[in-house]
Every structure is written in structure tokens, then in C-alpha cells.
Amino acid sequence: MQIVRTILWVMLACAIMLFSFLNWNPVEITLWDGFLVETKVPALVILAFLLGLFPMWLYHRSVKWGLDRRIRSLENSIKSAALARGRDEPVDKPGDKLADKSGDALTPVDENPA
């Protein structure tokens, strides 16, 4: 999976570089009255992309963080419930009961009847 991710990042970087070389034209942008910015097309496109990506990335990270906290909380509650249930059950010693396949308890037979 790591190789696929690396290949995709390399392809994206090549596409951005190709776009930048083919569109290296100056553009003028009027942000406010009297505030004029002159920049290149690739810088403008990349900046616009990052401005759109950043809020969605922050939202994704916050949702992932909340879900990770919920998963950890549920895992901890399951562990504590399992530990509590394990402590409540009596511990049987191996020689206390002998059971046959039907589930009836068998009494140990004394080898030296007196």
C-alpha cells in the first residue's frame, strides 16, 4: 500500500510541475478597492486549492480524533467489564468436581475401601 501512495504522490507532483511550466503567466487580482496583487497562475491555483483543502482537513482530523476517543472509551469499558466478570465467577480447582459428558457430577472412587 505504501508503494501505491508513493506513486500517487509522485504523479501529483509531476502534474503540478507540468501545469506550472505550461501556465507561467502573470495575472492581476483585485482583492479590495485599490489593492492589486500580481502573481503567477500556478501560485494562484495552488493557493486556492490549499485554502479549500485546509478547512476540510481540519474537519476530518477533528472527526477522527472524536471517533478515536470513542473507540478507546468503549474498549476500556469492555476490558473493565470483562475483568469485573472474571473476578465475580468462582474459581474451581481442577480436582473439585468430576463431570461426565452428560454434565452430572461424579464422585471420586476410593481405591482402598475399608
- Please report, for the chain, the start and end positions of each structural domain, with discontinuous segments joined by +: 2-87
> What type of residue is 56?
M
For 28-91, what is the HEC assignment?
EEEEECCEEEEEEHHHHHHHHHHHHHHHHHHHHHHHHHHHHHHHHHHHHHHHHHHHHHHHHCCC
C-alpha span between 24 and 39 (Å, rounded): 10
pLDDT value of position 84: 87
pLDDT value of position 108: 58
Each residue's pLDDT, cut to its tens digit, for the chain (114 residues) gives 999 999 999 999 999 999 999 999 999 999 888 899 999 999 999 999 999 999 999 999 999 999 999 999 999 999 999 888 877 766 565 655 555 555 555 555 556 665
pLDDT value of position 33: 87
Q: How many residues does the chain have?
A: 114
Of 77, 78, 58, the residue nearest 66 (C-alpha): 58
